[in-house]
Structure 1
Amino acid sequence: MGKGGRVLCIITPYALTIASLVCIIIVGLGCTNSASSTLNDLYFFRANLQNLTTTSSTKSTVSQALSKAGVTVSDGDISAALGQVQKQFDVKDFYNIGLWGYCEGNVNGDNYNISDCSKPKAEFWFNPIEVWNLQETGVENGLPDGMRKSLNLYKGVSKWMFIAYIVAFVATIVELVVGVFAICSRWGSCVTTLVSGVAFFFTAAASATATAMFATVTAAFNENLEKYGLHGSMGKNIYATTWLAVAFSLGAALFWMLSTCCCSGRSPYNHKGSSPRAITAEKAPYTYERLGPQANLNTAPYNTAYPSAPPPSQNRTNAYEPFRHV
């Protein structure tokens, strides 16, 4: 199998690598454009505040607290504090969290309408105390211990998740570039296999981290804040996309590895001759070579090789075929 067969051999892993790269890009584009409904459905976590409840007894208390700086609210006043902040700072009904930032909007019936998205930021993590303007209320001091621990965990792990996605993105691009050289030889496939292994590792690590981390955040959010009318949920589309990237990356790595064992780029034909698989036989000493039908056995070479052989009869031209002794 020659160069053409080599090209056909690497088409499959190359296509899988491109598919994995496209999926990673789609994950990164989630929650970056308020005008795109498709990208707005790509989120890791959604905080829903539309059913936020407050009690009349705590509203007046928190209203007075908001007029003074540094007033700390208790755990039972979290809902009231959020209700007052929602009125004063226009806190939205929901917040979608992506890789680079978040989008916010209001709920109209069954429709989640995005009004604005934050500017993309490296190593982003969603800080509800800052985004919801709760610094003045001191509500962070009244958060349950489980919620505070989950936020601290989310803050630290989100940086690793972001770095893992960036490394996976860069490694996949390098895989595509190096994969071009795999057409030429199996050494190119060997190098591409190593790069594809790195790309697969970080793609799988980023996807597993995102899934586990936001599952933990969602459980802690609902356990500690659902009684105040807040609800957290995980997106479906972005997780399907990121795990598709893992599947494509794994398939590419396996096929790149397979291309190192088969589909050689060398031609099986001998280019010295005009016919395929031409073989040049080496002449060993004391071998015989057939002569043409008009050969004269009385020439010097034959008299030398066979000094005692009588000349052939003139009427037996087809009795035997003459050979040259070399």
Structure 2
Amino acid sequence: MGLPAVLRSRLNTSSEKTDPSTPSTPISKEHVLESNDAGFKRATRMRRNFALSASFSYVLAWIFLVLVLVGNTYPRPVLSQTYFFKLDLTDIIPTSVPNASLINSIAQSIGLHDFYQVGLWNFCEGYVGVGITYCSPPRTLYWFNPVEVLTNELLSGATIALPTQVVTILSVLRITSQIMFGFFLTAALLAFLMIFVSPLAVASRWWSLPLAVASFVEMLLLIAASVVGTAISVAFKYAAEAQSELNIHAEVGPRMFIFMWLATGFSIWAFAAHSGMGCCCTSRRDLRTGRRVIRNGRGVRF
């Protein structure tokens, strides 16, 4: 039996509307793009997390850099234990020398202290059992000149004829110390600035290039300063203890080393995050310009 023509026509029309194989109208960018705030936040979540982690890394790096900068400046509990290296002259004359104890006592009575420890801005001196008794005033581009310190304190301003080799070493020490000072201070200023500008990377990839460059400069300065600080301290330790005729002991400051290398580590991570955001992770500008669209809560290429 044949169906009436009218009924057949209606059934055909209904099947055409529900047939999934029938091609649908192409979805435009405007339909796919979710312009609401929630959609943007979901799509840029990964980029936002990286930007915030870089900003937080700079917070930690800046805190540790501040500890490096203020270490050894004043005789206070934490500051007095943060130094690059420490010279121990308690028994500068070996006990094998006749009347060594008497000579050491005389040296202390006319101005020689038991220890000298050096920070970025100044040096501090003191006695065993008493602690720090004096810290020199903080000075820009400071460098520790042991000959000058001992001459002023022990010999009341007398001059010493130094060998050419010693003069050369002191000149190198002065230049490297001043370079380290400038690098640490500049890195601290850049780290503080990067705390606030790092989140701008979420807005656009165009921000990633200048931020990555600034991050690289800050990281490079900090690595160089930490390497120089480590080299100077270790060299001082070995040079001081190499004099077998003098009973001088030296030690590097563990807290200072921990602080500056932790700051360096956080800066390296922040640079890696900014470099990665230059080519990865969806930005808000990518969504607005249509370079990427939101599908299943993620930004994908259209």
Normalised by the size of structure 2, how large is the TM-score?
0.71
Q: Indicate if the aligned counterparts of 1:178 and 1:188 stay in contact, CA closer than 8 A.
A: no
Q: Indicate if the aligned counterparts of 2:142 and 2:178 stay in contact, CA closer than 8 A.
A: yes
**Partner residue, 1:220:** 239
Cα distance, 1:146 vs structure 2: 5.6
Structure-2 change in CA distance of 1:190 and 1:137 (3 Å): closer
Q: Indicate if the aligned counterparts of 1:9 and 1:263 stay in contact, CA closer than 8 A.
A: no
**Partner residue, 1:156:** 175
Q: Indicate if the aligned counterparts of 1:28 and 1:99 stay in contact, CA closer than 8 A.
A: yes
Q: Name the CA distance, whole Å, in 1 between partners of 2:67 and 2:100.
A: 44
Query: 2:160 aligns to what SS in structure 1?
Result: helix
**Partner residue, 1:49:** 89
**Partner residue, 2:227:** 208
Structure-2 change in CA distance of 1:58 and 1:179 (3 Å): closer
**Partner residue, 1:103:** 124
- Match for residue 78 of structure 2 among 38, 43, 54: 38
Can you give the 5+ residue segments of structure 2 that lack an aligned partner in the other structure?
1-38, 289-293, 296-302
Query: 1:198 aligns to what SS in structure 2?
Result: helix
Normalised by the size of structure 1, how large is the TM-score?
0.66
- Match for residue 86 of structure 1 among 108, 111, 122: 108
Q: Indicate if the aligned counterparts of 1:27 and 1:99 stay in contact, CA closer than 8 A.
A: yes
User: How many positions carry a matched residue from both structures?
Assistant: 246
Aligned pairs for 1:1-326 within 5 A = 2-3=40-41, 5=45, 6-35=47-76, 37-53=77-93, 84=106, 86-89=108-111, 91-108=112-129, 113-132=131-150, 133=152, 134=154, 136=156, 140-141=160-161, 147-224=166-243, 226-266=244-284
Query: 1:124 aligns to what SS in structure 2?
Result: coil
Query: 1:228 aligns to what SS in structure 2?
Result: coil
TM-align CA RMSD:
3.1
Query: 1:115 aligns to what SS in structure 2?
Result: strand
Q: Indicate if the aligned counterparts of 1:147 and 1:221 stay in contact, CA closer than 8 A.
A: no
- In the alignment, residue 137 of structure 2 is paired with which amino acid? K
Q: Name the CA distance, whole Å, in 1 between partners of 2:180 and 2:235.
A: 14
Can you give the 5+ residue segments of structure 1 that lack an aligned partner in the other structure?
60-78, 271-275, 278-326
Q: Residue deviations 1:74-105, cap 9 Å, x none? A: xxxxx96x86553223x321111000111211
Structure with a larger share of its residues in helix:
2
Instruction: Answer with 1 or 2: which has the greater Rg.
Output: 1
Structure-2 change in CA distance of 1:153 and 1:263 (3 Å): same
Identity of aligned residues (%): 27
Q: Name the CA distance, whole Å, in 1 between partners of 2:109 and 2:71.
A: 28
Q: Residue deviations 1:161-218, cap 9 Å, x none? A: 1111112112212322321322321222222111100000000000001111222222
Q: Name the CA distance, whole Å, in 2 between partners of 1:145 and 1:58.
A: 30
- In the alignment, residue 60 of structure 2 is paired with which amino acid? A
Q: Name the CA distance, whole Å, in 2 between partners of 1:162 and 1:269.
A: 44
